[in-house]
């Protein structure tokens, strides 16, 4: 029988984060879901997952723009359920805009949530994982951690930064039974891409399906929006014993985007 671990998943009440939390619970792990919703809303999501899977779950809220909240999140999760030994840094935001018009406030928020918060949670997690001689860290980067697109400078800086940060932590923990890896998704069917679909739809006379086809044709050779569960499946694999020898890797799950 496989071991039950405890995972902290950031940004876990919707989208890719919820899919990862769901797959981890389905794989037999307990899960602390993090989000920005009020306690009662987040707990309802956690409770529904516990009902479906029989695993222990709970919810902790924190605005990861706040460095103190990000630094405290690991301890908050440990207090809410038990000390996690899996950390998934998934929370992230996007803002598209040409560099000369990019608002400083959006730059700061993207760097804080998509990059600095992952540094702070890993800084908290590593000593506990090291002490127990086992840990898994999965950071949700993006194809934009590997290649660029226009109008995404802050997101590119944060996701390229996350890829580098993860390699560094992977090397520092390589002899400790800890692995640190990134997943780099392409276009995935979640709320974060809605503004980009809407902008493309407007340019194409309001047709949403045509907008999605157009975005995919431009970048993603499999011509299909990824279901969030695909990312969840890969996260579960990276947390499994089968992946014990994989660390410091940034794995594209992108329908061929970065093969071009």
Q: Contact between 17 and ligand NAD (CB under 6 A)?
A: yes
Active site (annotated) includes residue 155: yes
Q: Count CA atoms within 13 Å of residue 260 on its CB side.
A: 14
Q: Contact between 196 and ligand NAD (CB under 6 A)?
A: no
DSSP for the chain? -PPPPEEEETT-SSHHHHHHHHHHHHTT-EEEEEESS-HHHHHHHHHHHHHHH---EEEEE--TTSHHHHHHHHHHHHHHS---SEEEE---------GGG--HHHHHHHHIIIIIHHHHHHHHHHHHHHHHT-EEEEEE--GGGTS--TT-HHHHHHHHHHHHHHHHHHHHTTTTTEEEEEEEE-SBSSGGGHHHHHHHHHHTTS-HHHHHHHHHHHH-TT-SPBPHHHHHHHHHHHTSGGGTT--S-EEEESTTGGG-
Residue span binding ligand NAD (CB under 6 A) among the ranges 38-46, 57-65, 163-171, 216-224: 57-65
Site size for ligand NAD, by CB under 6 A? 26
Q: Which of 59, 74, 107, 155 is an active site residue?
A: 155
The least distance separating ligand NAD from the CB of residue 49, rounded to whole angstroms, comes to 14
Nearer to ligand NAD, 27 or 45 (CB): 45
Residue ranges in 166-185 that form contacts with ligand NAD under rule CB under 6 A: 185
Q: Contact between 188 and ligand NAD (CB under 6 A)?
A: yes
Q: Which two tokens stand for residue 68?
A: 């103190």
Residue span binding ligand NAD (CB under 6 A) among the ranges 15-23, 41-49, 129-137, 214-222: 15-23
Q: Contact between 113 and ligand NAD (CB under 6 A)?
A: yes
Residue ranges in 131-150 that form contacts with ligand NAD under rule CB under 6 A: 140, 142
Q: Contact between 187 and ligand NAD (CB under 6 A)?
A: yes
Q: Contact between 115 and ligand NAD (CB under 6 A)?
A: no
Nearer to ligand NAD, 71 or 177 (CB): 71
Q: Which residues are catalytic?
A: 155
Residues at the contact surface with ligand NAD, assessed by CB under 6 A: 11, 13-17, 35-36, 63-65, 90-93, 113-114, 140, 142, 185, 187-188, 190-193
């Amino acid at each position: 029988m496989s071991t039950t671990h405890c995972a902290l998943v950031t940004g876990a009440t919707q989208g890719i984060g919820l899919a990862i939390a769901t797959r981890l619970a389905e794989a037999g792990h307990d899960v602390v879901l993090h989000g920005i919703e009020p306690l009662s809303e987040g707990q309802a999501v956690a409770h529904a997952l516990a009902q479906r899977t029989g695993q222990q779950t709970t919810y902790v809220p924190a605005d990861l723009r706040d460095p103190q909240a990000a630094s405290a999140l690991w301890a908050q999760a440990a207090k809410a359920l038990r000390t996690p030994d899996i950390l998934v840094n998934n929370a992230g935001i996007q803002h598209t805009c040409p560099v000369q018009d990019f608002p400083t406030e959006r730059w700061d928020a993207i760097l804080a949530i998509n990059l600095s918060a992952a540094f702070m949670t890993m800084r908290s997690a590593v000593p506990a994982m090291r002490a127990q001689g086992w840990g898994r860290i999965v950071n949700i980067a993006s194809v934009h951690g590997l290649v660029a697109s226009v109008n995404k400078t802050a997101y590119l800086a944060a996701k390229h930064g996350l890829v580098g940060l993860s390699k560094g932590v992977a090397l520092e923990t390589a002899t400790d039974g800890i692995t640190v890896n990134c997943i780099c998704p392409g276009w995935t069917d979640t709320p974060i891409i809605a503004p980009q679909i809407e902008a493309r739809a407007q340019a194409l006379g309001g047709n949403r399906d045509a907008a999605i086809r157009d975005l995919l044709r431009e970048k993603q050779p499999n011509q299909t929006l990824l279901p969030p569960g695909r990312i969840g499946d890969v996260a579960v694999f990276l947390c499994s014993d089968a992946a014990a020898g994989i660390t410091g890797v940034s794995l594209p799950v992108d329908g061929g985007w970065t093969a071009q």
